[in-house]
Structure 1
């Protein structure tokens, strides 16, 4: 099992869980709104929650998971990982050069301020 396969599987799993949570929260909020605004009785409230659970599971199975599978293909994830890796390398080089410059300026101006005055 390659590390790319594991990485892609973890990314897809996290995306699926986030989508499932979002769908479940949206359906639960709509059920609460319907129950409160329509002043449903106990039995109709139970039916609303039951219908909400079934709807949430159906949306998860038939909308969220296929969308994640389509949107996060191996090719797209590999390209995204390559882009993020390249960006991290660039930011690392910029950070190193900035840190070196700041460190030398700090040493010149703060640690040994007399040297700058003598040189002038």
Structure 2
């Protein structure tokens, strides 16, 4: 009798293990992330421009799809020519992608 009970408990544990792994792994695409290379739209104010025009610091408005509040942060430029016409203090609309842990502007224009 003990053997049958232990066997039933063991089978129950085996049956539950895939569900426990799925719960532990979390969702496949959490809502606070975006898919790689997805273009994200934002607006803000230029706070500083790197001398080499490779990056720009922007105080951006909230970005709901990333659950980001307003903040000042650096953005790299996919092409230095994107940053050439900008000046500190310009209000801008821009699009960026996230790649290799960096935020890369792919389009930017003055408002």
Q: TM-score, normalised by structure 2?
A: 0.30
Which protein, 1 or 2, shows the higher relative CO under an 8 Å CA cutoff with sep ≥ 6?
Answer: 1
Q: Which of 1 and 2 has greater Rg?
A: 1
The structure where helix makes up a greater share of residues is 1
